[in-house]
Amino acid sequence: MKPQKVAIITGAGQGIGLAIAEKFAAQSINLILNDLEEGLITEACKRISHVHGVSAHAIPGDAGSEDVINALIAAALSNFGSLDIVVANSGITLFGAFLEYSREDFMEVTQVNQVGTFFLAQAAARVMKDQPNGGALLFTSSVTAHQSHENLAAYAMSKAAIEMLAKNLVLELAPFKIRVNTIAPGATVTARTTLDPDYEATWSKLTPLGRPATAQDIANAAAFLVSDEARHITGQTLIIDGGWTCVSPSPYT
């Protein structure tokens, strides 16, 4: 019987991260899940374990924290003895006009989006490099890394940095059979985005395929990129936006 894989996913309490966790669980992948909100991630692990019969462990806390990153790696090794997949999905969006944007908000976006991704990837790669089959790292970027979007300069900058990180790590990690890729979702229907009652209707008009993505659309792409079927793909960014970046209409016009 083929051994079950083990994955760490940050920002997995809801939305895209939770959809990725559920997709992996359906493929019999054991999970170490993180979210800032302890209640969300604890409940997600209980439900996923019950529905899919995999082992799912909750590590709550700030994904940019060194202590949380160390706890995630330790949980994978202590519970399963290996680490095959890491999805650095946790991120924060703080809107604000460039001329008024605060240093505090900039540092918070940078800490979660860039620092968290960089050092989780580093910690995971230190484990994966000693494994015969290496592993797969996946970062979550955004279409805003490719097309400008009003009041998101700091966020877009952080996401573009994540994509460049994936490209650069090819040089250092490919010799260890570690692949590194990025997904860049566009407008996606989640519990958070639908707090705006006009969100789905607005983005349905702006998206060439006629609707925003679902979290499951993003999860399907993530599952492919970390799978053995994508074993010759590394250093790439897959934009999942229904064609929006090809035409890039703004929701504010």
Give me the active site residues, please: 155
Strands of the sheet containing 178-185, edge to edge, are: 56-60, 30-35, 6-9, 85-88, 135-140, 178-185, 237-240
- d(CA 228, CA 134) in angstroms, rounded, equals 12
Closest CA to 8 of 82, 64, 62: 82
* Token output for 85: 């997949």
What whole-number distance in Å separates Cα of residue 61 and Cα of residue 68? 6
201 and 4 Cβ atoms separated by less than 8 Å: no
